[in-house]
Structure 1
Amino acid sequence: MDSQVDNNQQLTLIKLQQWNDIVEDKEIKGKLQNEILPNYVTKMRWFGGKGHALKSIQIIDYVILPFTDLDSAYHLLLEISYHDGSPDIYHLPIAYSPIDVSSELQKNYSQSIISLINIDNKEGLLYDALYDRRSQQVLATNLANNCTIKQKSGELVFTSTPNLKRYVHEQLNSTSKILITEESNTSIIYDQDFFLKIYRNVDRSINSDVEINQFLNNETTFRHIPKYVGSIQRQFGKETIVLGMIQEYISCISDGWIYILERLDDFSLNILSHTDITSINKELRGSLTNPLDYEEIPEDLKKLFDKTTSKLISLLGHRTGQMHQALSSNNELSSFYPEKYSVDDQHSLFSSIHSLIETVFQNLKENLQKLPEDVQEEAKEILSMKNELIRILERISSREINVTKTRIHGDYHLAQVLFTGDNFLIVDFEGEPAIHFTERRAKHSPLKDVAGMIHSFHYAAYRSLFLNPQRKSEDINILLPFIQLWFHYISGFFIKSYLDTTKDAPFIPNNKQDIQILLETFLLQKAVYELNYELNYRLDWIIVPLKGIKSIIEQNRLGQIC
């Protein structure tokens, strides 16, 4: 959820003669940019620049979205610059509410409140307009009617399929609510029929989320995604910034992350209530390139692993393979047709990960004293393994791997799949938030997505062990070998199903050694990236990526990863 604005904190007051002064008056705009917005934006969960030192915020553009003839919201485009790194563009809709009618905002959505505001001696609140039901309904209506709203420069363009228009015209008393569990974006649900995602971090380039959803819906038979309905775009000249995308709402039990954490709790309880855990076979059978399915694991382990869960993880592997087959199925569209994965690509991958290791390990050294003592020892051990990590990495540039590269999901993990009870649907094709928008559209080996999901299993496993507030400390050592067992076999179920689904696909190497090299390289990249993320944002989680890196090294010594 977005960071909550403390109701007791002193909000800044901004005085206007009229509402449009917020964007037209130079002095007021300056106060907004220099004082109010930096204080608000940097506290929001959707702001991804917390690891950088903020330099400035500039309102580079805005569009007017009328509520009525007398009232409107301004959708601001903010260029946020840092003392290090390239600037970002963020999308922040703002509106005004008189203080006497804003009790719901103050009570339920305090995180939406930006500042106090006084317009012609009338007190009120300046707030994020997405939390206003009027704004939510206006967005849906404009989408349904395929409206184009002229601006001072360019247009605000709404497009959608006819089924949204039918919904808006038939559901006269439709309800909408904001989804407060989002992180990088903000979404609105309409009557459990439609799901509108408003992008926060935006760019003057093609949005890969919209592009891939349109492609999969229109050019392939892959249907394990929410159906694409339409988009909101800011157009000026030849440039376009995508502000939002609407899809059909999918009723689900949970996302994959929550589902797996619940299954891990069941697994741990099963272990702790077992009459004789010493008798359980803890041998890790199978490997990264020779994984086992549920029916092949030892009989005593079948009693520990829930068969339904195991089969569903295999289904997830199958859906992942189907997604990759669909993304590689078009030989006509230049942005989607498969290309050769070249030696240059391999060398580039080596260089980027090598540079990442150098940067992250330096960051780890500098933050070592901030870590708890027991975690410090883990971190020192990982620092001592740096050369071994690089030797593992060097294999990616030591031989040519004859495969194709395609468009991929790009940020594939358990939270990017919805669990419906008997199926998984894949969402959020925006790509890795830490890289530039144009790079998110680059083609890669689909095994990068596979490694992302394996890494997510690992994160869930160790998070359930070390970061579960209900876990007794004396149980951790008992559970540790079994959590390793769980990760090994669950990852195996996923990989086996995936490789069976994609057998003979040109993006899968025809020999197991090359599969192993690619997977290990991408697993290493993901683990080091996550280590850096936790160093910058969540030091209390750092034990998890440390365990991930250690696992890669230890399993590599044994000739297997999973």
Structure 2
Amino acid sequence: MLDLTTSNLTSRYSWETLDQDQDALRFLESTVLPPYLNTCRWFAGKARQQEKFRIAVMHNLALRSDVDTIAFLAVVEVGYTDGETERYLLPLSFLETAQPGSAEVPPKGILTTAEFDQKGGLLVDAIYDERFRLALYANLAGEQVIPQKAGQVRFHRGRGLAEEDAEATVVSRVLPVDSSNSALVFGVPHQPEKYFLKLYRKLFQETNPEVELVSFLTEKSQFSHIPAFAGSIVWEQENTPDITLGMMQLMVENQKDSWSQTGDYLNDFLYAVPNRLFTIREDVFDRVELLGRRTAQMHLALYSPESNDLAFAPEAFTDDYRAFIIRRLEDLLERRYTMVIDNYTKLDPLAQRLAWVFMEAKEMIDEFIDDFRKRPLESLRTRIHGDYHLGQVLATNDDFIIIDFEGEPESSITDRKIKHSPLKDVAGMIRSYHYAVSAKLFGSTETENIDPNHLQRVSERWFNLIRDTYMNAYLETIGNPHPLYKNSNEFNFLLLVYLLEKAVYELGYEISYRPAWVKIPLKGIMDVIQEIEKIRTADPNRASDVPRLQMGLLETKKE
């Protein structure tokens, strides 16, 4: 029986029967899991009022060792006083005191000391047990299906896992990076770090969109600028959507992401600004052009009009889809207007002027949204990256690798799978470039004594050149016309919709966490508003009582 007087887990039964030991499970739920999960970087419920922890499911996975044993894939349900229950994947392993490797487990991997059937040791997160890591790899390579009490765990193997590596001697380690998931690395002879396995900690009642997109691009297209799909781990149950537990890909050479690289490129520009010089290295344009081409190639690969997979078949701009985007945008706008009013006095003078024009343009924005609701659109929607920015693109020596296809972290899994115009990705990258230059100029000591209005103009010149370079390369690669975009008018109109949505979303984050950066998304909103104004004035048939944009509010004394 359990010794409840200490935090040590003590059971007279063997480790392999933990899933049947109700006393031990209750002890874990009440005493061990609450403090442990709250120390884990991947546990998202720290700020919520937790009500209960329950081990809902215990899948077992055989481990090959001198003495055969098992690990458990525990699914932990966390209930809260308010809101939905969450589920987390917590692999569990028992390392006896004399077990090789027990001394190498970091403190963050130890749940508690434990004793099973008079054998003492550590109850650990199984990712820190090499036997568990090797079992994951072997099952993926062998495409195993393991029956469980609740359905089955299926290991899919992808094209990215080489035939010669299926039976290879494998080495493994846990990446030390703390994030919302856990990362394991596997090496084979002559290549010590070849495969990367991501275990998804927070579980959703659907297949992870990243697995769907990466496997589709690897198996069904020739697009090679992603880490190739090598396999996935899925929990299958009858009459229930599959739940993704993990995905393996080819390891990518550890290079800077494009946000960091762009920051490096901007240094030359930054150092020239105080001397009133405008400097952009030629290779910066080359890299931006290449990223524009790679973005277009990704979208062409995801455009699959002949696909038998409905999840990837292109769709029209339906009324339901427009209503979804409009609800999201109107809700964002309403909350942002309130936030701007409540925080107006905290903004710097430049941000205040931009905020004032944003507020004055409310009717114009409303009219633009109504245009989106009613306007005939023949462009198409497809699956897209969904959270596309410079931080999601790794810069290799002479090319790019696009990563992290999970979608917007704040969105539900269902919403992440909604098909959008690929211009949503394009808008995300454009906004990322705008952030890169603005953050560099407004946040550096080299420019802290320069008039903010001058910095605004200088940053806009750099941004406009980079944006146009990126867009020209994108359009040239996509081809004109292309079924994804009916014509240039629809292209420009839809791009404004997604740019507005992105910048309005960013505004809320900056007001809450970085007030000094509020001017960045406000300027992005301003750019969209000015383009909307051009559309209105260029249409001789438009009858509107909406007042013109009050650009005079932005005027300041000339330098």
TM-score category by the smaller chain?
0.7 to 0.9
- Which of 234, 250, 255 is 1:253 aligned to? 255
| AA in 1 matched with 2:368 | R
CA distance in 2, matches of 1:350, 1:481: 32
What does 1:518-537 align with in structure 2 at a 5 Å threshold?
A: 518-532=494-508
Conservation of the 8 A alpha-carbon contact between 2:180 and 2:201: yes
Task: Output one character per residue of 1:44-75: Cα deviation in whole Å (capped at 9) or x when no partner.
Answer: 33334566554444322121123344543221
Moved more, 219-228 or 472-481: 472-481
How far did residue 246 of structure 1 move? 1.4
| C-alpha distance in structure 2 between counterparts of 1:410 and 1:465, whole Å | 28
Task: Tell me: CA distance 1:551–1:70, structure 2 relative to 1, closer, same or farther (3 Å).
Answer: same
Identify the residue that residue 147 of structure 2 maps to in structure 1.
150
Write the distance in 2 (CA, Å) between the matches of 1:490 and 1:532: 26
Q: Normalization by structure 1: what TM-score?
A: 0.79
Quote the residue 2:10 is aligned against.
16
The equivalent of 1:416 in structure 2 is: 392
Picking from 314, 326, 335, the partner of 1:350 is 326
Task: Select 2:376's aligned residue among 400, 403, 411.
Answer: 400
Look up the equivalent residue of 1:236 and give its one-letter code.
Answer: Q
Q: CA deviation at 1:119?
A: 4.6
From the superposition, tell whether residues 62 and 524 of structure 1 become closer, same or farther in structure 2 (CA, over 3 Å): farther
Identity of aligned residues (%): 32
**Residue 206 of structure 2 corresponds to which residue in structure 1?**
205
Is 2:525 aligned against 1:553?
yes
| Corresponding residue number in structure 2 for 1:92 | 90
CA distance in 2 between partners of 1:80 and 1:475 (Å)? 51
In 2, the alpha carbon distance for the partners of 1:184 and 1:380 equals 38
The alpha carbon displacement at 1:168 in A equals 4.7
* 2:370 partner amino acid: S
Preserved contact between residue 192 and residue 250 of structure 1 (Cα < 8 Å): no
Aligned to 2:305: 330
**One-letter amino acid of the counterpart of residue 235, structure 2:** R
Kindly state the Cα deviation for residue 446 of structure 1 after the two structures are TM-superposed: 0.9
* Aligned partner of residue 222 in structure 1, secondary structure: coil
For 1:439-518, list aligned pairs within 5 A: 439-465=415-441, 473-474=448-449, 477=452, 481-502=457-478, 503-512=480-489, 514-518=490-494
Q: Tell me: CA distance 1:64–1:359, structure 2 relative to 1, closer, same or farther (3 Å).
A: farther
SS at match of 1:141: helix
2:361 counterpart residue number = 388
Letter in 1 for 2:93: A
Match of 2:552 in 1: none
Structure 2 CA distance for partners of 1:184 and 1:383, relative to 1, 3 Å: farther
Structure 1 495/115 Cα, relative in aligned 2: closer, same or farther at 3 Å? farther
2:105 alignment counterpart: 105
RMSD after superposition? 3.5
Cα contact 1:347–1:396 (8 A) shared by 2: no
Structure ID, larger Rg: 2
Counterpart Cα distance in 2 of 1:375 and 1:34: 50
Note closer, same or farther for the CA distance 1:237–1:559 as it changes in structure 2 (3 Å cut). closer
Q: Is residue 33 of structure 1 aligned with residue 9 of structure 2?
A: no
Between the aligned partners of 1:127 and 1:266, the Cα distance in structure 2 is: 49
Report what 2:55 is aligned to.
59
**Structure 1 pair 449/142, CA: closer, same or farther in 2 (3 Å)?**
same
Q: 1:385 to 1:324 in 2, by over 3 A?
A: same
CA gap of 1:169–1:556, structure 2 versus 1, over 3 A, is closer
CA separation in 2, counterparts of 1:481 and 1:555? Answer: 13
Change in Cα spacing, 1:116 to 1:482, as seen in structure 2 (3 Å) is farther
Cα distance in 1 for residues equivalent to 2:27 and 2:357 = 49
Asked if the contact 1:252–1:419 (Cα under 8 Å) also holds between the matched residues in 2, the reply is: no
User: Once the 2 structures are TM-superposed, how far is the Cα of residue 214 of structure 1 from its aligned partner?
Assistant: 2.4
Tell me the secondary structure at the aligned position of residue 74 of structure 1: strand
Q: Please state whether the residue corresponding to 1:246 is helix, strand or coil.
A: strand
Is this contact kept in 2: 1:117–1:126, CA < 8 A? yes
Do 1:346 and 1:397's aligned partners in 2 also have CA atoms closer than 8 Å? no
Query: Contact (CA 8 Å) 2:354, 2:519: kept in 1 or not?
Result: no
Cα shift at 1:316:
0.8
Distance in 2 (CA, whole Å) between partners of 1:251 and 1:331 is: 34
Kindly indicate whether residue 181 of structure 2 is the aligned counterpart of residue 185 of structure 1: yes
CA contact (8 A) 1:208 1:430 kept: yes
Q: How far 1:312 moved relative to its partner?
A: 1.1
In 2, the alpha carbon distance for the partners of 1:382 and 1:59 equals 49
CA shift for structure 1 position 41: 3.1
Counterpart CA distance in 2 for 1:305 and 1:210 is 38
Contact in 1 for aligned 2:54/2:77 (Cα 8 Å): yes
Measured against aligned partners, the alpha-carbon deviations of 1:211-238 in whole angstroms (never above 9, x if no partner) come to 2222222322222222222211122324
- Report the AA paired with residue 254 of structure 1: K
Moved more, 250-259 or 225-234: 250-259
Deviation (angstroms), 1:397: 2.9
Q: Is the 8 A contact 1:58 1:79 kept in 2?
A: yes
Structure 2 counterpart of 1:4:
none
| Count of aligned residue pairs for this structure pair | 509
Query: Residues 11-34 of structure 1, C-alpha deviation per residue, up to 9 Å, x if partnerless?
Result: x92422143575444454344334
**Alignment CA distance shift 1:73-1:319 (3 Å):** same
User: How far apart are residue 182 of structure 1 and its match?
Assistant: 5.9
* Runs of 5+ unmatched residues, structure 1: 1-11, 281-300
CA distance in 2, matches of 1:389, 1:422: 45
**Deviation readout 1:402-435 (Å, 9 max, x if unpaired):** 3111111111122222221211122222222222
Distance 1:98 1:459, change over 3 A: farther
Among 279, 290, 293, the alignment partner of 1:318 is 293
- Report the CA distance shift for 1:252/1:394 in structure 2 as closer, same or farther (over 3 A): farther
User: 1:347 offset after TM fit, Å?
Assistant: 3.5
- Cα distance in 2 between the residues matched to 1:364 and 1:149: 54
* Correspondence 1:260-299 to 2 at 5 A: 260-272=262-274, 276-277=275-276, 280=277
Tell me whether 1:242 sits opposite 2:244 in the alignment. yes
Distance 1:393 1:133 in 2: 57
What are the superposed Cα offsets for residues 290-311 of structure 1, whole Å, 9 maximum, x if unpaired?
Answer: xxxxxxxxxxx5xx11211211
CA distance in 2, matches of 1:98, 1:466: 55
What is the distance in 1 between the residues matched to 2:425 and 2:58? 36
8 Å contact 2:302–2:383 — kept in the other structure? Answer: yes
- 1: CA distance, partners of 2:359 / 2:125: 45
- Deviation readout 1:439-464 (Å, 9 max, x if unpaired): 22221111111111112223333443
**1:314–1:494 contact (8 Å) kept in structure 2:** yes
Shift in alpha-carbon separation, 1:393–1:229, aligned structure 2, 3 A: farther
Residue 556 of structure 2 aligns with which residue? none
Q: Write the distance in 2 (CA, Å) between the matches of 1:377 and 1:118.
A: 64
Distance 1:396 1:14, change over 3 A: farther
CA distance in 2, matches of 1:452, 1:527: 9
What SS is found at the alignment partner of 1:326? helix
Tell me whether 1:169 sits opposite 2:167 in the alignment. yes
Structure 1 pair 20–215 and aligned structure 2 pair: CA distance change class (3 A)? same
Residue of structure 2 in register with 1:218 after alignment: 219
Q: State the secondary structure of the residue aligned to 1:254.
A: coil
C-alpha distance in 2 between matches for 1:533 and 1:123: 49
The equivalent residue for 2:43 is 47
Say if 1:20 and 1:137 are closer, same or farther in 2 by CA, change over 3 A: closer
**Which secondary structure state, in structure 1, belongs to the residue aligned with residue 105 of structure 2?**
helix
Shift in CA distance, 56/449, structure 1 to aligned 2, threshold 3 Å:
farther
Contact 1:133 1:177 in 2 (8 A): yes
Match of residue 233 from structure 1: 234
Q: Cα distance, 1:193 vs. partner?
A: 1.6
